[in-house]
Chains A and B, each alone.
Chain A
């Protein structure tokens, strides 16, 4: 079907009038726009899921450092911690945090990951979808549905805000990834289409103003740990939404606020490494030492 939507309102209208799920509308749209059949679209999504799983698997068993030597052994530290003392919030929490670290560390080792939406935010969506799928015995077909729904959230947001730290700070990278994950989590836990979109809005609302100030310009500090935090953040948004707690600011207006916040954000805080953490005393020392090595 030829669907056109650039807003959450429009998407929900289509879902309502056609009596279809978000992922059904999106996969039909993608198939139509690119003259593919739906199975081809779904297979492409599956390839992405499989690549995400491979990254998690490999990352869980590696302590190889990044090119800079700054990061790379945190996942194993967390794994050891959970062996000794289980996580307070249970096994889903353990898996999400471990999978997010595993993926992000694979990324900075120059191994294979899936940009989702970007490489710097590549660990949030996979950690949530894979951990939930394992914990809730979710079938491969439904995992594909979850990733399509997550992608739909990013698709709509990116029609207004480009997904780049240089444009709107980390709001547009890890923030969007968290909103995408919240939506997927609600779907995995049986929420309806409205709750799915609402969860994305709740997640997004809570990261407005998030800057992009990486130390030495690298996707490492604070990006690695931020991916872990924002994966858990998505679950909070999903729980609230499933309880029927709604964003008093409608989802499309939250995106507008995000865009405006990005425009108001100083360029020093948008992927230029000229503000925030990047110019702290320690941030500058790290940066200088890396430059010396170059």
Chain B
């Protein structure tokens, strides 16, 4: 559970007008930027439900793109992002859909570039967000913690191998979640930790046999 803070009440300093529809959208973009960790050539943002109906009026479209391009929630660039040089190197488009199976403020990022990837997330209120899916894998990344995410071949011993590298650096694990699409096929692991994640851990995990993908997803700073 999240430690409650005075600054949950009197923050963030942000570009208006809505914490869920503007600041939350920027933060989703920032997290997806960290997850993709490469140059995006083309992105389709698919906005659902309230994000679809009230998103444009709250600048959610601008905020999502700005976050993906590395803007923070208080950046003055968000407002004019469509006209800035940074957004000229990337192709982007928006789709809007009502779908009650999805969260009221859900977004899919359909990304093309160094690789194809689809990332889904929700803006859950007061600027807080969660990434719920990377490609076909359920994940849970809120940006409150530094996190390691990896995809690998589902087989015994993987959790132990990965956690040993983390333990060797004396890093405390706050949460750990796994998912897989079928026994023996591709699995995912999402580990949130206290403190920083050194690159050496990522390199070590990358070198484990049958690890296909690993990322160090930095926590969001306002």
Which residue numbers of A lie inside 8 Å of B, CB to CB?
A: 26-27, 30, 33-34, 41, 44-45, 47-48, 51, 66-68, 106-120, 122, 125, 147-148, 150-152, 154-155, 158-159, 162-164, 166-167, 180, 216-220, 272-273, 290-291, 294
Q: Least Cβ distance of A80 to chain B in Å?
A: 24
Cα–Cα, bound, A108→B8 (Å): 21
B57 and A163 contacting across the interface, CB-CB below 8 Å = no
Q: Least Cβ distance of B222 to chain A in Å?
A: 10
At the interface, yes or no: B168 with Cβ under 8 Å from chain A? no
Cα–Cα, bound, A111→B14 (Å): 8
B74 and A112 contacting across the interface, CB-CB below 8 Å = yes
At the interface, yes or no: B198 with Cβ under 8 Å from chain A? no
Cα–Cα, bound, A230→B53 (Å): 28
Which residues of A sit under 8 angstroms from B16, Cβ to Cβ?
106-113, 119, 122, 219
Cα–Cα, bound, A107→B74 (Å): 11
Chain B, 1-60, CB within 8 A of any chain A CB: 3-20, 22-23, 50, 53-54, 56-59
A112 and B76 contacting across the interface, CB-CB below 8 Å = yes
A110 and B23 contacting across the interface, CB-CB below 8 Å = no
Q: Which residue of A lies closest to B127 (CB)?
A: A115
**Can you list the 7 inter-chain pairs with the closest CB atoms, starting with the nearest?**
A217-B54, A107-B16, A154-B9, A110-B79, A108-B17, A218-B57, A51-B13
Cα–Cα, bound, A272→B78 (Å): 25
- Some 10 contacts from A to B, beta carbons below 8 A apart, are A108-B17, A113-B13, A115-B14, A120-B17, A155-B4, A159-B4, A162-B125, A218-B58, A220-B57, A291-B53
Complex partner residue of A48 from B10, B15, B56, CB under 8 angstroms: B10
Complex partner residue of A216 from B7, B14, B17, B57, CB under 8 angstroms: B57
Complex partner residue of B57 from A48, A115, A147, A217, CB under 8 angstroms: A217
Q: Which residue of B lies closest to A51 (CB)?
A: B13
Which residue numbers of B lie inside 8 Å of A, CB to CB?
A: 3-20, 22-23, 50, 53-54, 56-59, 62, 74, 76, 78-79, 96, 104, 125-127
A114 and B10 contacting across the interface, CB-CB below 8 Å = yes
B11 and A110 contacting across the interface, CB-CB below 8 Å = no
Cα–Cα, bound, A120→B58 (Å): 11
Given A48-B11, A114-B13, A273-B54: A120 and B6 interface contact (C-beta under 8 Å) = no
Which residues of B sit under 8 angstroms from A220, Cβ to Cβ?
17, 57
Cα–Cα, bound, A220→B10 (Å): 21
Which residues of A sit under 8 angstroms from B58, Cβ to Cβ?
67, 218-219
Cα–Cα, bound, A51→B58 (Å): 21
Complex partner residue of B14 from A33, A34, A109, A112, CB under 8 angstroms: A112
A151 and B17 contacting across the interface, CB-CB below 8 Å = no
B17 and A166 contacting across the interface, CB-CB below 8 Å = no
Complex partner residue of B19 from A115, A125, A272, CB under 8 angstroms: A115
Q: Least Cβ distance of B17 to chain A in Å?
A: 4
Name the residue among A116, A148, A159 with the largest chain B CB count within 10 angstroms.
A116
Which residues of A sit under 8 angstroms from B7, Cβ to Cβ?
30, 44, 151
Which residues of A sit under 8 angstroms from B96, Cβ to Cβ?
294
A47 and B13 contacting across the interface, CB-CB below 8 Å = yes
Q: Which residue of A lies closest to B59 (CB)?
A: A110
Which residues of B sit under 8 angstroms from A167, Cβ to Cβ?
125
Which residues of B sit under 8 angstroms from A115, Cβ to Cβ?
10-12, 14, 19, 23, 126-127
